Amino acid sequence: MTSESPSQLLSFLDASPTPFHAVEALCLRLKAAGFKELEEQESWNPLPGSRCFVVRGGTSLAAWIQGTEPPSDSGFRLIGAHTDSPNLRIKPQPDLNQHGYLQFGVEVYGGALLSSWADRDLSVAGMVYVRSESGKIEGHMLHHRDPFLRIPLLAIHLNRDVNEKGLVLNAQNHLPPIYGLEAEDDLNQGMHRLLAEMLKVEAEDILSFDLSLFDTQPAAILGKNQEFIVSGRLDNLYSCFCALEALLKDAETESPQTRMAVCFDHEEIGSMTTQGARSSFITSLLRRLNLENASQAFERSCARSMLISADMAHAVHPNFSEKHEPQHFPQINGGPVIKINAQGRYATNGGSEAIFEQICREGEIPLQKFVNRTDLACGSTIGPYVAGNLGVPTLDVGAAMLSMHSVREMGGAFDFGWMTQAFRGFYTRSELD
Ligand code: ZN
């Protein structure tokens, strides 16, 4: 068991209802640790040993420590994760008032477990774009902490066989949250006026927004021995946190290889966006960090690199163990779980697995392995996209959890210590064989 306290992780989860907030929280930690922010539109010339980070689109972030040797000689040690989680997003013209209730329309973002959003005390967070007095566009971050929304379940008396047949929610009809009862002056532009009040701006100056719902109940520790963490967005802020912890813990130590943590938005919707894992973000970064104009520096650096794709794994569920492959039952707090899939839904192969095995054996870190049941379709991660893009050996690994994609998930209070320790072993490893 490691001695790490999860309080910083809990604060990070609570401070990060959306990828905008997660990136902001990560930036604050990086700045406090002496990392310098670079802008993509400027030219870069980071010195060996320098510590930098860059943000794209406000929701994807990469932080790195430039190696003492050029990447074409010593390569990159990359850990990738994602900042987004499935949720409900507010529609652009949201007002939808029915039968005397104030409501608004929502879209489903990613593979949300819809029923988990019902009967929770919800609120809104994200980015609102506002026209300023000078005519410029200003982004206003919104994190309205007080609960003010609810998606009520239908009473069992009106849905008699729900316990036998399961709860079926139609995404268009059954998800609009309620936030009040209609009064005469609420009927026009209700949502815009509400946002204007929250942000102290004029409703007509709101140009657009990227807003989602979140559960206002704070992250918590539970279990007889405080062994569980329960919170929204464990998938995958848990891994973002571990990747950054590992980078920061050894930030004072120099190494020949360039160490990088990269947290992408939009994994849950396929990664094909401006700042997603299938965008130019990572390739462009690695090209720019090959500072010397040596011939084929980028290609040579990739050939000396490795990626860990860090994303949560499915712990065996005691009440549904038949959903798991019987030889592979990952346990919460049982250490990192290597994820393997013969169809390439995970990017792990025997070579990358062997390297991680070595790291964990040397660090006396418990290690687990996961494959899906052969008759069930397998999920995926950023791993295969980045591996294919860069052509670097890749390992998919994550901490075991339950209730993945629920509004409130359940993971281990000790695994993040193991994960961080394993990532430190990876970052500081100059040889990959
Ligand atoms: Zn994930």
CA of 236 to the centre of ligand 1 (A): 5
Residue 3 has pLDDT above 50, yes or no: no
The three-state (H, E, C) secondary structure of the chain, written as one string: CCCCCCHHHHHHHHHCCCHHHHHHHHHHHHHHCCCEEECCCCCCCCCCCCEEEEEECCCEEEEEECCCCCHHHHCEEEEEEECCCCEEEEEEEEECCECCEEEEEEEEECCCCHHHHCCCCEEEEEEEEEECCCCCEEEEEEECCCCCEECCCCCHHHCCCHHHHCCCCCCCCCCCCEEEECCHHHCCCHHHHHHHHHHCCCHHHEEEEEEEEEECCCCEEECCCCCEEEECCHHHHHHHHHHHHHHHHCCCCCCCCEEEEEEECCHHHCCCCCCCCCCCHHHHHHHHHCCCCCCCHHHHHHHCCEEEEECCEECCCCCCHHHCCCCCCCCCCCCCEEECCCCCCCCCCHHHHHHHHHHHHHCCCCCEEECCCCCCCCCCCCHHHHHHHHCCCEEEEECEEECCCCCCEEEECCHHHHHHHHHHHHHCCCCCC
- Regarding whether 379 and 246 lie in a shared domain, the answer is yes
Q: Among 215, 248, 269, where does a domain finish?
A: 215
Average pLDDT on 75-93 reads 97
Q: Do the beta carbons of residue 193 and residue 377 sit within 8 Å?
A: no
Q: What is the pLDDT of residue 264?
A: 98
- Regarding whether 207 and 156 lie in a shared domain, the answer is yes
- Regarding whether 201 and 267 lie in a shared domain, the answer is no
CA of 137 to the centre of ligand 1 (A): 32
CATH of the domain at 97: 2.30.250.10
- Regarding whether 271 and 154 lie in a shared domain, the answer is no
CA of 162 to the centre of ligand 1 (A): 29
- Regarding whether 399 and 262 lie in a shared domain, the answer is yes
Q: What is the pLDDT of residue 4?
A: 63
CA of 311 to the centre of ligand 1 (A): 5
CA of 382 to the centre of ligand 1 (A): 9
Structural domain total, the chain = 2
Q: What is the pLDDT of residue 333?
A: 98
- Find where tokens 């967070």 sit: 125
CA of 97 to the centre of ligand 1 (A): 34
- Regarding whether 143 and 11 lie in a shared domain, the answer is no
- Regarding whether 373 and 236 lie in a shared domain, the answer is yes
CA of 82 to the centre of ligand 1 (A): 7
CA of 370 to the centre of ligand 1 (A): 15
- What is the per-residue pLDDT across 220-236, written as a single tens digit (0 to 9) for each? 999 999 999 999 999 99
CA of 312 to the centre of ligand 1 (A): 6
For residue 170, name the pLDDT band (cuts at 50, 70, 90). Answer: very high
CA of 129 to the centre of ligand 1 (A): 28
CA of 154 to the centre of ligand 1 (A): 30
- Regarding whether 198 and 110 lie in a shared domain, the answer is yes
CA of 275 to the centre of ligand 1 (A): 16
Q: What is the pLDDT of residue 46?
A: 81
- Regarding whether 165 and 237 lie in a shared domain, the answer is no
Q: Which domain holds residue 176?
A: 87-215
Q: Among 164, 181, 215, where does a domain finish?
A: 215
Q: Is residue 317 part of a domain?
A: yes
CA of 268 to the centre of ligand 1 (A): 7
CA of 420 to the centre of ligand 1 (A): 17
Q: Is residue 277 part of a domain?
A: yes
Structure tokens at 340: 């393997």
Closest residue by Cα to residue 250 from 416, 414, 49: 49
CA of 59 to the centre of ligand 1 (A): 15
- Regarding whether 310 and 277 lie in a shared domain, the answer is yes
- What is the per-residue pLDDT across 9-38, written as a single tens digit (0 to 9) for each? 999 999 999 999 999 999 999 999 999 999
- Regarding whether 290 and 150 lie in a shared domain, the answer is no
Q: Is residue 331 part of a domain?
A: yes
Q: Is residue 319 part of a domain?
A: yes
- Regarding whether 64 and 100 lie in a shared domain, the answer is no
CA of 235 to the centre of ligand 1 (A): 5
